[in-house]
């Protein structure tokens, strides 16, 4: 039954909040709820690929923050190419995390934390440590397709679902995705089979950085600007979304679709705090507790005989 827990949890939460206010379950409200967590979903999808191999990426939030700044700065001169530039930068930062982890044998939580610090510094330096704003006409010309609605469905939500579909295809239908699962399930066996594990690990980190940059791009376009702290507070909910969705830190189980469910659980929990008059200051406390519970209930202890 463990693999069904995320769905059961999501449905239970929806029913619980719906009993408090039936309008919460209206299609319009649910679509709005999903649209609000689009950047979080994209960031969490990238992080899923790293956790899937049994590692962790703590640089996602900082890369997303940097991406909002770089998008805003590059927009006047590059137009829509600013998005491609930012995605490439995120890919490079993620790859650096992967190289430091695999080649220098630095634990992933240290390497990604360090790379995240570099990304934060780049965002602070290029922005002058202040909020930047996009020109409305330039934003509409370059990224107008990303905002607005069609038949009541926000374009950014469609974009997020397409990204989830691409990540799911990589995970389930391509050699890298299958190798990611094998690495998470039993890395020594994969190494013994002659597969170049380091290359696939670097790829997982690179994809995570790329998705974090896309999340920052969406954030920047949505809010028409950038700041080195714009995505602050997203790291913990993103990790929670991955774990409560059913992808444990030990890797090899779960995946992108699980994270989609986990992100909706996070969205419903955040909304329920408003319905039950829980102050915003209590959200991080709640997510911290959920993170501990999620790790304790999903981790495969057979892979961790000793905890340090």
Q: What is the DSSP letter of 226?
A: E
For residue 255, give both structure tokens. Answer: 């995946």
Strand 149-150 vs strand 153-154: parallel, antiparallel, or unpaired?
A: antiparallel
Q: Where are the alpha helices (DSSP H) in the chain?
A: 5-20, 27-36, 38-52, 60-78, 81-103, 108-127, 136-143, 155-173, 175-192, 197-223, 235-244, 256-275, 281-298
Q: CATH assignment of 38-298?
A: 1.10.3470
Asked whether the beta carbons of 35 and 271 are under 8 A apart, the reply is no
- Nearest-angstrom CA–CA distance, 143 and 79: 9
- The residues with which 150 forms a beta bridge, in sequence order, are 153
For residue 282, give both structure tokens. Answer: 């209590």
For the chain, give every domain's residue range.
38-298
Asked whether the beta carbons of 212 and 66 are under 8 A apart, the reply is no
Strand 149-150 vs strand 225-226: parallel, antiparallel, or unpaired?
A: unpaired
| Residue pLDDT tens, the chain, 308 long | 667 778 888 888 888 888 888 888 888 988 988 999 999 999 999 999 999 999 999 999 999 999 999 999 999 999 999 999 999 999 999 999 999 999 999 999 999 999 999 999 999 999 998 889 998 889 998 898 888 888 888 999 999 999 999 999 999 999 999 999 999 988 889 999 889 999 999 999 999 999 999 999 999 999 999 999 888 888 988 998 998 888 888 888 889 999 999 999 888 888 887 777 777 677 667 777 776 776 676 665 565 555 44
Please classify residue 302 by burial: count the beta carbons closer than 10 Å to its beta carbon, then call 0-12 exposed, 13-18 middle and 19+ buried.
Answer: exposed
For 76, residues 6+ apart whose C-beta sits below 8 A from its C-beta are 135, 138
Query: In a 3-state reduction of DSSP, which class is residue 195?
Result: coil
- Nearest-angstrom CA–CA distance, 65 and 230: 6
Q: What is the DSSP letter of 4?
A: G
* Burial letters 160-169, b for 16+ CB under 10 A, else e: beebbeebbe
Q: What angle do CA 230, 215, 175 make, to 5 degrees?
A: 150
- For the chain, the farthest-separated pair of C-alpha atoms sits apart, in whole angstroms, at 58
């Amino acid at each position: 039954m463990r693999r069904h827990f995320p769905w059961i949890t999501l449905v239970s939460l929806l029913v619980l909040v719906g009993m408090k206010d039936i309008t919460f379950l209206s299609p319009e409200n649910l679509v709005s709820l999903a649209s609000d967590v689009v950047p979080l979903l994209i960031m969490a999808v990238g992080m899923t690929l790293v956790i899937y191999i049994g590692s962790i990426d703590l640089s996602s939030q900082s890369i997303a923050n940097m991406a909002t700044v770089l998008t805003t700065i590059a927009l006047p001169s590059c137009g829509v190419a600013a998005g491609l530039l930012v995605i490439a930068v995120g890919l490079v930062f993620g790859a650096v995390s992967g190289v430091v982890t695999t080649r220098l044998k630095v634990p992933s939580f240290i390497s990604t934390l360090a790379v995240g610090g570099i990304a934060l510094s780049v965002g602070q330096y290029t922005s002058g440590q202040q909020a930047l704003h996009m020109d409305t006409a330039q934003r509409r010309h370059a990224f107008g397709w990303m905002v607005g609605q069609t038949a009541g469905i926000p374009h950014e939500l469609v974009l997020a679902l397409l990204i989830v579909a691409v990540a799911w295809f990589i995970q389930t239908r391509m050699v890298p995705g299958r190798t990611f699962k094998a690495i998470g399930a039993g890395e020594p066996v994969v190494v013994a089979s002659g597969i170049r594990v380091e290359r696939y690990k670097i790829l997982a980190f690179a994809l995570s950085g790329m998705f974090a940059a896309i999340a920052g791009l969406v954030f920047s376009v949505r809010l028409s600007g950038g700041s080195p702290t714009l995505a602050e507070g997203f790291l913990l909910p993103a990790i929670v979304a991955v774990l409560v969705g059913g992808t444990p830190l030990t890797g090899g189980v779960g995946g992108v679709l699980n994270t989609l469910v986990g992100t909706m659980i996070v969205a419903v929990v955040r909304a329920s705090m408003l319905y039950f008059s829980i102050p915003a200051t209590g959200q991080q406390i709640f997510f911290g507790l959920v993170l501990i519970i999620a790790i304790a209930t999903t981790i495969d202890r057979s892979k961790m005989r000793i905890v340090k």
